[in-house]
Structure 1
Amino acid sequence: MDLTYKNDKDRFGHLCNNQQFADIYFIFKNDKEHQRIPAHKLILSVGSDVFKTMFFGSLPTQTDEIEILDVEPDGFKALLKYLYSQEVQINPEIVMSTLYAAKKYNVAELELFCVDFLEKSLTANNAFLLLNQARFYDELELAESCLKVIEKNTREALDSDCFIDIDLGTLIAVLERKTLQVFESDLFEAIFLWSKVECVRKELPVTPENQRTVLGRALSLILYPLMTFKKFANGPVRSRLLTDIQVTKFCMIIASKTNSMETPRCSTNLALAKTPEVHLKFNYLTHLIQKQQHFIDSFAFSQPVVIVGFALHTYLMKDKSKITLTLKDSLQPVFDITQCNDLSSTSLELPIILSRPFVINSSEIYTIETQIEKLSDCDLAPQNCLNKNYGELNCVYCGRYNRYQVAKMAVMEHIKPLNMNSVDYFNFIKCSGIISQIIFYEANSNVDPEDVLVRSFDIFKSN
């Protein structure tokens, strides 16, 4: 019989979870099953100083069975697999319990493997799953990494299957973040769905009263005054989760706003809930714009802003034609949106409202690609598209000034409190002429959450 082994993996790997020569057993008990995992003290002690002290220290354990209460069986098995064969066998479902086991038994190499795995696999689709587990296992750095991914991709994370499975503490931790790139109505819709699922988990009838109970403080962390009347009426009011007094007070605050769209949570001046909605309008010598189906524009802002929509000139678009707009940063497409031009033939602009607010970083160049499905039969733009009262905005393209005339000032009084001229904070790097407006808010910077006077819990506390 050939007993030659090439390495320790061949020598000891087959003994993992094998009763042959086993001298210690680890017991796992739960409501569904009872597991008894065999192991070998010497092999475990070679790879872990915690096991070495446990079995061969000054006060070694005297029993051949040890019950494990704080580690999941699959995570413990992954730990044993590594100690026996130096093989790492982890997946998204067990990586957190494996990381916890590696930290508990001081197996640094496996811990690093788990952290690397998490960093590479963290996405908007699994951020809530990993955040829930990170909070459970007290992995603060990982939890913060998950929160940052959720902040930047809030809508995608809320739409993931993992969201409805989180606990209340995790939900509150997310709602307390003031830089979520999402509209408040979408946040409310998400917690409304979560409350229904939570009622079922707790075996409670799904009623507004029980939904309020399972949501607890989370219900007061929605910033209702940031919504429009329409969104507030179709969401919170219709859900019946708010009292009549709360609805009345929020309506009074919403009525004091002049914005036509929802204010993003990640915009500034939340203390007043009156963050200016800025419409940066451009007026072009439209007869110079080439009649084509594909347009490319590049731009940059000198300060962070939150873009919520665009408007496009419609004179090149055939009625009922599909329009696809793709926004890209320097690395890859950020998102795309397809909309039908179903406006009347006299409409000069087609509004494109984004499904979520998007933060534009200062001095970074972004590209917008616009694809028109069908061109109109008209060769020239209507004369009222032109405005000769605006001077030329110098937009450098290939070392030359851009040939189009655009507005030097944003055509809206909300720009005045910002005390900035458009040429001071915005620049077209490449301008096709198809974009007629950029709708945005000033980005959230250095806003202390405790200074947000309109926080919903103030109204909840007063009832």
Structure 2
Amino acid sequence: MENAFETLYCAEKYGIPSLFNHCSQFIVCRLDSNNCLISLEKALRFGADSVIKGCLEFIDANCKAVLDTPEFIAVRHEILEKILQRNTLAVDENTVYKAVERWAANACAEAGIDSSAENRRQVLGKALYLVRFPLLTDGEIANGPLKSGLLLKEEFCAIYEYLYKHGADKPHIPFPATPRVHLLSDHPVRHARQRPSTFFYLPRRR
């Protein structure tokens, strides 16, 4: 793959479109869960649109395997956002959330700062608001982002009200709530949600 990208770079530099297209097709046909993120980063650098498209579609179809790789937690913030923006990831949102937590913890470690909830939120920045927290079950929210502190209490309450209130009482929330629908499936990737009989205890932030 490294030789293919070197050739791709030369083809772009010297204006040989047929070779550029051939290299692009070669790379896309050899994508796997271990090399697709590195390939995406290089394709963005070279402006290889067909490789970018191929990488993103591979991630869509093989999202859980890609998110579980060690390469995922090391991707640049730009690539994290590109993945989280996808409407076609074939994975449940709790898996996405857990991967984002791992990415944030690694980003804190790389920056030499404590992996506190505040610092994880800071390194995530706008990417935090690309996680579709409303698609998580109540138990997943309570035992995941609420417990870890990644979600603020007021954000949790806003999500709760958004899900269980109707009409004019429904508040605006900063998180997407539309289910992701994989292109190869007719069904949205989400959890069934039931109205809980009791409110969750909101843990004290430390």
> What TM-score, normalized to structure 1?
0.35
Structure with more relative contact order (C-alpha pairs < 8 Å, separation 6 or more)? 2
Partner residue, 1:221:
130
CA distance in 2, matches of 1:98, 1:188: 37
Please tell me whether the aligned partners of residues 25 and 51 of structure 2 are also in contact (alpha carbons under 8 angstroms): no
Secondary structure at the aligned position of 2:91 is classed as coil
The runs of at least 4 consecutive aligned structure 1 residues that moved more than 6 Å come to: none
CA RMSD of aligned residues (A): 2.8
Please give the residue correspondences for 1:52-71 in structure 2 after superposition, counting only pairs within 5 Å. Answer: none
Partner residue, 1:200:
109
Partner residue, 1:173:
82
Which of residues 85, 88, 92 in structure 2 aligns to 1:183? 92
Partner residue, 2:198:
none
List gaps (5 residues or longer) in structure 1. Answer: 1-91, 258-262, 268-303, 308-356, 359-438, 441-463
Please tell me whether the aligned partners of residues 24 and 50 of structure 2 are also in contact (alpha carbons under 8 angstroms): no
CA spacing shift, 1:256–1:156, aligned 2, 3 Å: farther
Question: Could you tell me the percent identity over the aligned residues?
Answer: 31
Q: What amino acid sits opposite 1:149 in the alignment? A: F
CA distance in 1, matches of 2:73, 2:44: 16
Q: What amino acid sits opposite 1:306 in the alignment? A: H
CA spacing shift, 1:207–1:266, aligned 2, 3 Å: same
CA spacing shift, 1:120–1:107, aligned 2, 3 Å: same
Displacement of 1:255:
4.4
Secondary structure at the aligned position of 1:305 is classed as coil
Name the structure where helix makes up a greater proportion of residues. Answer: 2
Partner residue, 1:382:
none
Name the structure where strand makes up a greater proportion of residues. Answer: 1
Q: What amino acid sits opposite 1:178 in the alignment? A: N
Please tell me whether the aligned partners of residues 93 and 133 of structure 2 are also in contact (alpha carbons under 8 angstroms): yes
CA spacing shift, 1:95–1:256, aligned 2, 3 Å: farther
CA distance in 1, matches of 2:6, 2:142: 43
- 1:129 counterpart = 2:38: yes
CA distance in 2, matches of 1:161, 1:98: 27
Displacement of 1:242:
1.8
CA spacing shift, 1:254–1:125, aligned 2, 3 Å: farther
- 1:212 counterpart = 2:121: yes
Please tell me whether the aligned partners of residues 179 and 266 of structure 1 are also in contact (alpha carbons under 8 angstroms): yes
Secondary structure at the aligned position of 2:187 is classed as strand
Displacement of 1:131:
1.3
Greater radius of gyration (CA): 1
Displacement of 1:205:
2.3
Which of residues 287, 302, 305 in structure 1 aligns to 2:186? 305
Q: What amino acid sits opposite 1:265 in the alignment? A: R
Secondary structure at the aligned position of 2:181 is classed as coil
Please tell me whether the aligned partners of residues 175 and 218 of structure 1 are also in contact (alpha carbons under 8 angstroms): yes
Please tell me whether the aligned partners of residues 151 and 179 of structure 1 are also in contact (alpha carbons under 8 angstroms): yes
Please tell me whether the aligned partners of residues 59 and 66 of structure 2 are also in contact (alpha carbons under 8 angstroms): yes
Q: Deviations over 1:47-89 (max 9, x none)?
A: xxxxxxxxxxxxxxxxxxxxxxxxxxxxxxxxxxxxxxxxxxx
CA distance in 2, matches of 1:202, 1:141: 33
Partner residue, 2:180:
265
CA distance in 2, matches of 1:140, 1:178: 19
Which of residues 15, 22, 27 in structure 2 aligns to 1:106? 15
CA distance in 2, matches of 1:93, 1:206: 34
Q: Deviations over 1:201-238 (max 9, x none)?
A: 22222221221111111000111111110111121112
Which of residues 140, 143, 148 in structure 1 aligns to 2:52? 143
Displacement of 1:245:
0.7
CA spacing shift, 1:101–1:202, aligned 2, 3 Å: farther
Please tell me whether the aligned partners of residues 8 and 23 of structure 2 are also in contact (alpha carbons under 8 angstroms): yes
